[in-house]
Amino acid sequence: MRRFTELVLTGLCLMGGAAYAAPKPDLTPRPGAWRLEGASEGEPVCLLRLMATETIGGKDVVSDACHEAYPWTADITAWYAAPGTHGDMTLIDGERRVVIRFSLVDGDPAYDGATQGFDYALYPPLPVRAAEKAKKAHK
């Protein structure tokens, strides 16, 4: 009986350790300077700054240089991550219509989306220094 108890306790310890071994990465879209680029090689790259401040339909979006590179971004006024969408991110216009919706790419931190017949990729927030450097390089 003692041996059986030892085996059960050992098994419980191993199962408990496996459950806490590796925390899952946070896949929730969050504020910051995100990099938007066309999926085809050589397409422009620009920064979309997703803000934490609330606005109609979601949270603010600032995209200074993106309007020149991708005119369809001029209509974007807000972003949100719908609960239960496993990290999907939606960018909307002032009338709350979806402009583009991005979904996580399996095994990659990038997001994939399509609008007006073209594919686009959105990459997670850059560190502040890298974002400022990219912004200066674009000017």
Structure letter (DSSP) for residue 94: T
Compare 58 and 15 and report the one with higher pLDDT: 58
Phi then psi for residue 27, to 5 deg, are -100, 10
Structure letter (DSSP) for residue 96: S
Q: What residues form DSSP beta bridges with 61?
A: 50
Give the CA-trace dihedral at 82, 79, 131, 75, to 10 degrees.
150
The model's pTM: 0.67
pLDDT digits (tens, 9 = 90+) for 81-109: 877 666 788 999 999 999 999 888 876 77
Q: Poorest-confidence range of 27-31, 66-70, 113-117?
A: 27-31
Instruction: Write down the residue that tokens 């960018």 correspond to.
Output: 91
**Residue 76 in contact with residue 69, Cβ under 8 Å?**
no
**Residue 92 in contact with residue 98, Cβ under 8 Å?**
yes
> Cβ-count burial of 40 within 10 angstroms (0-12 exposed, 13-18 middle, 19+ buried)?
exposed
User: Quick one: pLDDT at residue 99?
Assistant: 92
Which domains does the chain show, CATH number per domain?
Answer: 32-138 (2.40.128.10)
